Amino acid sequence: MEYKIDQVKEILKYCAELVSEQKEQLEKIDSQVGDGDLGISMQKGAAAIAGEADSFEGNDPGALFMKCAMALNKAAPSTMGTLICAGLMQMGKTFSKKETVTEAEAAEIPSLFAQAIMARGKAKEGDRTVLDALLPMAEAVKTAFGSGRALSEAFAAGAEAAKNGMEKTRDMVPKIGRSKWAPENAKGVPDGGAVLCWIVAQGLADRAGR
Amino acid sequence: MKKIMNVPDQFVDQSLAGILKAHPGLLKAAPEDGRAIVRADAPVRGKVAIVTGGGYGHLPLFLGYVGKGLCSGCAVGNVFTSPSCETVVNATKVVSGGKGVLYLIGNYMGDQMNFEMAADVVGMENIETVLIRAADDVASAPREKWEDRRGIAGILFAYKIAGAMAERGHSLQEVEKTTRKACERIATFGVAFTSCQLPEAAAPIFEISGDEMELGMGIHGEKGVKRCKMMNAHELADYMVGTVIQDLSLTKGNKVAVLVNGLGSTSQEEQYILYGEVADILKTKGIDVAKAFVGEYVTSMEMAGVSITLFHLDDELEDLLKDPMYTPFVKL
pLDDT tens-digit readout, A20-47: 999 888 888 877 776 667 888 899 999 9
What's the pLDDT tens digit per position in B112-143?
999 999 998 899 899 999 999 999 999 989 99
Distance from C-alpha of A42 to C-alpha of A68, rounded to nearest angstrom: 13
What's the pLDDT tens digit per position in A84-103?
999 999 999 999 999 999 99
CB atoms inside a 10 Å sphere around CB B102:
24
Distances (CA, A) of A24 to A191, A196, B37, B134: 15, 12, 35, 36
Closest listed residue to residue B188, CA positions, set B222, B231, B161, B156? B156
Is B81 within 8 Å of chain A by CB?
Answer: yes
Least confident of A10-19, A151-160, A185-194, B72-81: A185-194
Chain B residue with CA closest to A88: the answer is B117
Chain B residue with CA closest to A76: the answer is B84
Which residue among A85, A177, A181 places its CB closest to the CB of B117? A85
User: From start to end of chain A, where are the E strands?
Assistant: 2-3, 101-102
CB atoms inside a 10 Å sphere around CB A189:
16
* pLDDT score recorded for residue A147: 97
Which residue among A77, A83, A89 places its CB closest to the CB of B77? A77
The reported pTM is 0.86
Query: Are the C-beta atoms of A120 and B117 separated by less than 8 Å?
Result: yes
CB contact under 8 A, A177 and B109: yes
Three-state SS at B75: strand
What average pLDDT is seen over chain A? 91
Averaged pLDDT for residues B162-166 = 98
Q: What is the DSSP letter of B232?
A: P
Is B107 within 8 Å of chain A by CB?
Answer: no
What's the pLDDT tens digit per position in A162-210?
999 999 999 998 877 656 555 667 788 899 999 999 999 999 999 987 7
* pLDDT score recorded for residue A34: 63
* pLDDT score recorded for residue B6: 94
Chain A residue with CA closest to B118: the answer is A70
Amino acid in the structure at residue B198:
L
| Residues of B that are catalytic | 58, 220
Element (H, E) at B307: strand B305-313
CB contact under 8 A, B86 and A70: yes
Length of chain A in terms of residues written: 210
**How far off is chain B from A150, nearest CA to CA, in Å?**
35
Beta-sheet pairing, B101-106 with B49-56: parallel
Q: Which residues of B touch A83 (CB under 8 A)?
A: 113
Chain A residue with CA closest to B120: the answer is A89
CB contact under 8 A, B113 and A121: yes
* Rg (alpha carbons) of chain B, rounded to whole number: 19
CB contact under 8 A, A82 and B85: yes
CB contact under 8 A, A82 and B222: no
* pLDDT score recorded for residue B202: 76
Name residue B52's beta-bridge partners. B74
* pLDDT score recorded for residue A181: 53
The dihedral through the CA atoms of A145, A150, A151, A157 has a sign that is: negative
Phi/psi region, residue A187 (left: phi>0; alpha: psi -120 to 50; beta: rest), is beta
Best residue in A44, A82, A96, A97 for a mutation probing chain B (most B CBs within 10 Å): A82
Three-state SS at B138: helix
Q: Is the pLDDT of residue B217 over 60?
A: yes
What's the pLDDT tens digit per position in B219-255?
887 778 889 999 999 999 999 999 999 999 999 999 9
Chain A residue with CA closest to B110: the answer is A79
Query: Are the C-beta atoms of A62 and A98 separated by less than 8 Å?
Result: yes
Q: Is the pLDDT of residue A14 over 70?
A: yes
Three-state SS at B142: coil
Element (H, E) at A199: helix A192-207
Is B233 within 8 Å of chain A by CB?
Answer: no
Contacts of B132 (CB under 8 A, 6+ apart): B102, B103, B104, B105, B158, B162, B176, B179, B180, B183
B/e letters for A2-30, b = 16+ CB within 10 Å, e = fewer, are: ebebebbbebbbbbbebbbebbeebbebb
Best residue in A70, A73, A181 for a mutation probing chain B (most B CBs within 10 Å): A73
Best residue in B13, B93, B114 for a mutation probing chain A (most A CBs within 10 Å): B114
Is B13 within 8 Å of chain A by CB?
Answer: no
Distance from C-alpha of A198 to C-alpha of A203, rounded to nearest angstrom: 9
Distance from C-alpha of B1 to C-alpha of B15, rounded to nearest angstrom: 18
> CA-based diameter of chain A, in Å?
49
* pLDDT score recorded for residue B221: 77
Q: Which value does ipTM take for this structure?
A: 0.71
* pLDDT score recorded for residue A183: 65
Chain-centroid distance of CA B271 in Å reads 18
Is B90 within 8 Å of chain A by CB?
Answer: no
The dihedral through the CA atoms of B92, B95, B97, B103 has a sign that is: negative
Q: Which residues of A touch B77 (CB under 8 A)?
A: 77
**% of chain A with per-residue pLDDT over 70:** 95
Contacts of A107 (CB under 8 A, 6+ apart): A141, A142, A145, A146, A151, A154
Q: What residues of chain A have any CB closer than 8 angstroms to a CB in chain B?
A: 70, 73-74, 77-79, 82-83, 85-86, 89, 120-121, 176-177, 181
